Amino acid sequence: MKNKEVVDLLNRFGTLLEIKGDIFFKVRAYYKAAEAIEALGEDIEHVAKENRLREIPGIGAEIDAKIKEFLATGKVRAYQELTKEVPESLLELVEIPSVGPKKAKMFFDKLGVRSREDLADALAKGKLDGLPGLKEKAIQNIIKGLKLVQEGHERMNLGVATATAELIIEDLSKLPEVKDISTAGSLRRQRETIRDIDILIVSPKPQKVMEHFLKLPAVKSVNAHGETKSSILTHEGVQVDLRVVEPSQWGAALLYFTGSKNFNVKIRQIAIRKKMKVSEYGVFKVSGSRETLLASKTETACFKALGLPYIPPELREDIGEAELFPAKGAPNIPKLIELSDIKGDLHVHSQYSDGHNTIAEMAAAAQKRGYEYLAISDHSAKLKVAGGVSPQDLIKKKKEIETLNAKLKGFRVLFGTELEIDTEGNLDYNDKILSEFDFVVASVHSGFEQSREKITRRIINACRNKHVHAIGHPTGRHIGKREGYDLDLKEVCKAAVDTGTLLEINSFPIRLDLDSANIYFARSMGVKFTINTDSHHVDHLEVMRFGVSLARRGWLTAGDVVNTLSLRGLLGSLKKH
């Protein structure tokens, strides 16, 4: 299916025309066509063959001809002509937050900047200073944006990585030659961002597995092809490495290829102290030049041979190293929270604000997941861009929830809100309205550029309100787009503990906020948490798994998280100090 390639082409075409300064109308035609094909439920090649491209809204004669040319030859002549005027590499610049097509053109025209590398160089040399309409603050934002994009290109978020890996694993698992299969590397450790995907397989017939792997529909190109190890690039540009190992070495290989690097170093040091050796083939006793295999078949056996308890993959990081490898005694590993511990979700949106589904639909989907409760926490009135709910509509919403609850069995919809903390730190609804809610999560959606003191004060102020139960996505980061605002997390944690306010672990893959290091820190301060999805669609409820992974990486047990409690336990715990 070439739908994605065609969408990419049209978007690039539009952007290059925009950089060139072509008329808005023409530029927009390309973007519209790209959007329509993105939403197309059919194979574009099939549609083209049947000469039905022009039935797709937004595709006229000109774009129709270009798509056909592309599908037939893999190229479009007019596009190649255009790149002679406007270098294709300028597209890299437009991806940078705060650099649009206009600035890209200016950098190209005035400074000869043709790529991100050129831009980095021009910035380092101060060449952007004094360009028309470019203030110091704008230059600082470009520097920040450039850094973010560079990192974002190297790493995808956990949600994207998981979706890609699971498709491939599902396909490979169907082969009778595959006896066991697992992710390894940073994906198995559930890191928030992932560079490439590692998959490990046990099979007596590696060749068969490799042949099948290289021909998967997801494969765009093959980087390396060996007997037991291959590496491919998917159409989305994700690198996937596959290794096939012997059944007898499964545990040792899994341990070794899961990492992290630092964790493996620690394990090796422990082995050396005990006159042992650990490698991808097993744990060995070493005496002189003789090596005797102690364990290799399962990870648990390998850990045991080293005198260690089983360490879950999520803990194999630098976070919590002092607890994991104490100077004296054995590691004390808590019983980490699991997805099955979660009994409800306290931050989801409905059609009352910017959600896609009705309250009843969201509730049905949550109940189907086995939850006991769901708080419909729509945006508050001031966040107009996201359809903030007016006080009048709150009355209607509350009634709707009451009527629904009267019908539901073994499940309760909670009347919630995602309360706006405004740029001055004031809360959107007054105390009388706030006292009506079952659950209030207060969030910052504006004033990201403010000073550390000011942002911290805004959030602490929200903690001090007795109706605010939790702080939503506490650092405000957007992976690959925006760093979090400058926050004094220690002060926020103190205020949270003082007032009995929860900090949210937002599971949405582009947020993953708090991140695992911050969770570990907040836990050490005595903070309690809520793990929520921030769903805007019934399908989003699924992302709870990522929040739970983060919580595990932050060493949390079910006892640290309020939405592992039963409904009655939860309502009791929400009373503030």
Interacting residues toward Zn ion by CB under 5 A: 418, 443, 534
- φ/ψ of residue 291, rounded to 5: -120, 125
Q: Of 459, 506, 455, which Cα lies nearest the Cα of 479?
A: 506
φ, ψ (nearest 5 deg) of residue 534: 60, 35
When the beta carbons of 372 and 534 are compared against Zn ion, the nearer one is 534
Distance between CA atoms of residues 177 and 211, nearest Å: 12
Nearer to Zn ion, 314 or 534 (CB): 534
- How far is the C-alpha of 131 from the C-alpha of 108, rounded, in Å? 12
- Among 337, 373, 409, which Cα is nearest to 554's? 337
Please enumerate in sequence order all residues whose Cβ is within 8 A of that of 461, keeping only pairs 6 or more positions apart, or say none.
421, 425, 426, 427
Q: 158-173 and 206-214 are packed helices; what angle lies between their axes, rounded to 10 degrees? A: 130
Report the C-alpha gap between 291 and 322 in whole angstroms: 31
Nearer to Zn ion, 242 or 342 (CB): 342
Nearest Cα residue to 43 out of 75, 69, 4:
4
Shortest Å distance, C-beta 209 to Zn ion: 43
Shortest gap between Cβ of 352 and Zn ion (angstroms)? 12
User: Minimum Å distance from CB 232 to Zn ion?
Assistant: 37
Task: HSE, CB side, 13 Å, CA atoms: give it for residue 405.
Answer: 15
Residue 497 Cβ vs Zn ion, minimum distance, rounded to whole Å: 23
| CA distances, 560 to each of 161, 318, 445, 513 (Å) | 27, 21, 26, 16
Residues with Cβ within 8 Å of residue 273, at least 6 apart in sequence? none
For the bound state, the minimum distance from the C-beta of residue 192 to Zn ion, rounded and expressed in Å, comes to: 18
Nearer to Zn ion, 334 or 387 (CB): 387
Nearest distance, CB of residue 536 and Zn ion, angstroms: 8
Q: Which CB sits closer to Zn ion, 63 or 462?
A: 462
List phi, psi (to 5°) of 115: -155, 175
Q: How far apart are CA 245 and CA 269, in angstroms?
A: 25
Contact (Cβ atoms closer than 8 angstroms) between residue 172 and residue 213:
yes
CB of 418 to Zn ion, least distance (A): 5
Q: Shortest Cβ distance from residue 382 to Zn ion (Å)?
A: 13
Which tokens in the block code for residue 265?
A: 């170093």
Measured from the CB atom, the residue of 443 and 475 that comes closer to Zn ion is 443
Rounded-to-integer distance, Cα 316 and Cα 303, Å: 12
Report the residue number, 232 or 419, with the smaller CB distance to Zn ion: 419
Q: Say if strands 197-202 and 239-245 run parallel, antiparallel, or are unpaired.
A: parallel
> What values do phi and psi take at 417, rounded to 5?
-150, 145
Closer residue to Zn ion (CB): 198 or 418: 418
Q: Looking at the DSSP assignment, which residues form a beta bridge with residue 180?
A: 202
Shortest Cβ distance from residue 560 to Zn ion (Å)?
A: 22
Tell me the closest approach of the beta carbon of residue 423 to Zn ion, in angstroms. 15
Helix or strand (DSSP H, E) at 280? none
CB closer to Zn ion, 251 vs 484: 484
Rank residues 101 and 474 by Cβ distance to Zn ion and give the closer one: 474
Q: Is 221 exposed, middle or buried (0-12, 13-18, 19+ CB in 10 A)?
A: exposed
Nearer to Zn ion, 241 or 534 (CB): 534
Give me the least distance between CB of 369 and Zn ion, in Å please.
19
